[in-house]
Amino acid sequence: MIRDRFAPSPTGNVHVGSLRTALYNYLFAKKNNGQFLLRLEDTDRTRYEEGAVENLLGALMVTGVVPDEGLFEEDGKIVQKGDYGPYIQSERLEIYKKYIDQLLENGQAYYCFCTKERLDEVREKQKRAGETPRYDGHCRNLPREEVEARVAAGEPYVIRLKLPEDHVVTFDDAVRGRIEINTNDLDDQVLIKTDGFPTYHFAVVVDDHLMGITHVIRGEEWLPSTPKHVYLYECLGWEQPQYVHLSNILNDDHKKLSKRQGDVSVGDFLKKGYLPEALINFLALLGWSPEDEQEIFSMDELVEAFDLSRINKSGAVFDRAKLDWMNAHYIKELPIEELTARMIPYLVDAGYITEADIEKRMPWLEKVGELMRERLNYFAQVPEETKVLFDRNFEITDQESLDLLKEETVPVLFNALVEKITESDVVDTERAKAILKEIQKEHKAEKIKGKMLYMPTRIMLTGEMHGPDLTLIMDVLGKEELLLRLDRMRSMIH
């Protein structure tokens, strides 16, 4: 049975790169009828951030990257489910103790009493000598009695992995192929810290083994640590999992994706009104490619198409324009109820409508939604895009618009619009089209057509020279609003 896992540390906002890692694990497990676990790696207490776990579970839930086993949120509480728990590392200290004792017993790990000052000094010296900084092995061979006495006396210590000299560690990575490293190039990794907690490196190996993990799919930043993990598997007599290291997601400048170039957290994207389906679709294609040119994938289609052998070795650039394009595609496909429901919070936030308005204005709001369908890349654009509908008291300051309104045909156009709108029962798109057509026909002599018809009408009604289709705007504004707006223009036109 294939079992893989997403094993984040609770350190604040979920980076899109982490979501991609979780997604690939999810897809791989689903594709192979396997199981996908969520485990919390919280042994670094200094990096812990309040609310991070809730945040994480929330991001996975909304995007549909839901584990089969591990951590879940139920009624606002974090619960654990599965036969391999606990799934929170800080609750597994007893388990780690058993294996560290085994390593100490076998001479594969040792107590180290070096102070921070000493370690800093060693590092400085090595740096000055142009060497790669690493632990100098000072405590590797302390006599057992001395160790016992110092531990009994309460002296602080860490426990380190005792790497053999000149030993070649080998593993196969599904993306990068065979990797071999000589232990002479590795450091005696700390396994247990002074606070008694295991380091990530130790806990990850124990947990992956005990939880029956067959595939470790994770970011390439963990590649340099993998030989140490592999050596631990050797020491403990366990079979190593299949490693799959995913290349970094990159900024436009080909450096690792960072906040400098815009949003990077899943929460930021959702807040801006990117749809979870779009984000998932986009992230799936960042570092993996399907056999054909297909670009739009539902989660089920991704599961169907996903294949480890098509993961790219090189880093993928996070192309924000492509994400916008993809999100716009998903917005266009939304049922109108959902599109409107997703738009409404942005209208409320902008102060355009109140919560109390929503229900009675729903049919109208759905019209606004329809108007937005073709115009949005993401929902945070709603206030800007709908401004013309809500801001009746716009000012016209743009010189080109002002000049256009001074044209001698404009009062004629104005009067015709007022007259035709007044005598209409309703102004829907059809009627708006008819009105404009009639005006054009009736005022052929004055040459009120084309630009001289549409531009001044749009400016008088919205204050803008450009925007959504004019007849749609007129439909959404409706008869009364149209007349109110025209009336405000009266003194300016005549």
The residue ranges that bind ligand GLU (CB under 6 A) are 7-9, 41, 200, 204, 218, 222
Task: Give the nearest distance from C-beta 32 to ligand GLU in angstroms.
Answer: 19
Instruction: Tell me whether residue 219 or residue 478 sits nearer to ligand GLU (CB atom).
Output: 219
Task: Give the nearest distance from C-beta 222 to ligand GLU in angstroms.
Answer: 5
Active-site pick, 125, 255, 259, 271: 259
Q: Could you tell me the two tokens for 420?
A: 């035709």
| Cβ(37)–Cβ(211) below 8 Å | yes
Which parts are annotated binding residues for ATP?
Answer: 259
Q: How far apart, in whole angstroms, are the C-alpha atoms of residue 447 and residue 132?
A: 81
Task: Give the nearest distance from C-beta 29 to ligand GLU in angstroms.
Answer: 14
Task: Give the nearest distance from C-beta 272 to ligand GLU in angstroms.
Answer: 25
Instruction: Tell me whether residue 65 or residue 405 sits nearer to ligand GLU (CB atom).
Output: 65
Maximal CA-CA distance, the chain: 111
Instruction: Tell me whether residue 44 or residue 307 sits nearer to ligand GLU (CB atom).
Output: 44
Following DSSP, what letter does each residue of 141-205 receive, concatenated?
Answer: T--HHHHHHHHHTT---EEEE-PPTT-EEEEEETTTEEEEEEGGGS---EEE-TTSPBPHHHHHH
Q: Is 300 exposed, middle or buried (0-12, 13-18, 19+ CB in 10 A)?
A: exposed
Task: Give the nearest distance from C-beta 204 to ligand GLU in angstroms.
Answer: 5
Annotated active-site residue 259? The verdict is: yes
The residue written with tokens 């029956």 in the block is: 212
Q: How far apart, in whole angstroms, are the C-alpha atoms of residue 479 and residue 427?
A: 5
Which parts are annotated binding residues?
Answer: 259
The residue written with tokens 């949003």 in the block is: 263
Q: How far apart, in whole angstroms, are the C-alpha atoms of residue 10 and residue 19?
A: 14
Residue 98 exposure: Cα atoms within 13 Å on the Cβ side: 7
Phi-psi region at 435: left, alpha or beta (left = phi > 0; alpha = psi -120 to 50): alpha
Q: Is 435 exposed, middle or buried (0-12, 13-18, 19+ CB in 10 A)?
A: buried
Instruction: Tell me whether residue 218 or residue 420 sits nearer to ligand GLU (CB atom).
Output: 218
Residues paired with 317 in a beta bridge: 250
Instruction: Tell me whether residue 220 or residue 481 sits nearer to ligand GLU (CB atom).
Output: 220
Point out the residues that are catalytic.
259
